[in-house]
Structure 1
Amino acid sequence: MDDPQARPHGGDGQFVRSLTTAERDAEAARLRSLGWTYPRIAAELGFNHRADAWNAVQRVLKDTVREAGEELRTLELERLDALYVAASEVLEREHVTVSNGRVVDLHGSPLPDDGPVLAAIDRLLKIQERRARLLGLDAPTKQNISISPERAAALEQLVEELGEQ
């Protein structure tokens, strides 16, 4: 690209966009939505190549999807918070056993009913599990496994032998 601010910065090679580049990306996406071709967008916005115009539009699309996803995630977390509060209130209430429309009495005191408490605990756990999935807390972690050159050679030899059979 001809915009030096759009090039990777630092030693990590990450793409860093300036405000100017972000605005130009947005304009490229707007023009594309009007049916413009990538070569025409590149010429209009001063990109060196048609691929630069395509990349600009792709960045906008990716950011738009990410923003919409974050908004949805926030909404879902708020809903889960409300459900968690409601289930917690059920858990904290006193529950008594009722039979034939009457409170069951045990030595002068109402017999506690553990059913609603256990159901509230189950519901709280389900809400926590959903929250963990939504936040990616239970996602598998990537492992970097390396083997010695000797073991790599032995593995290659084994694969070749298996391929011959």
Structure 2
Amino acid sequence: MATSRAARAREKENQVVALRLEGKDFDAIAREVGYRDRSGAWKAYQKALTRREIATETHEDERRLELARLDELQASIFQAAQRGDLAAHDRVLKIMKHRDRLRGLSVAPVRAVGSSDGDQDDDNVLVGPDKLDELRAKVRTKRASQ
């Protein structure tokens, strides 16, 4: 009995992963798979991701799906931004920042507590992977000298 229960649970977990990769939210997944609420679907999804054989593939697939969604969003407002719509400009820039975060190209600025450096703002600083390595080396050197 425990084996069949475990098999049913794993099957539901696999359904949750498949539906998530189709782009469905956890509320819709819970209704379709038969969970009481979104938290049951989310927990099943997290449990499925901990299984080593699907975790890496699923994360990469979900990242690709999210990037495709961002591309669609940007395409839908890009012409308005080109025509000078300032709200559309703002949205396009936010979409671009989010895309860079998903690709691992975005780094939050490092600030000392109580720093009043006027040149830094609250937005993320975009850097490439080699620039990131260079910045990390500088931080390590600075910490070592203190």
Which TM class, normalised by the smaller chain length?
A: 0.3 to 0.5
Q: Larger Rg: 1 or 2?
A: 1
TM-score, structure 2 as length reference: 0.39
Q: Structure 1 length as normaliser, TM-score?
A: 0.35
Higher helix proportion: 2
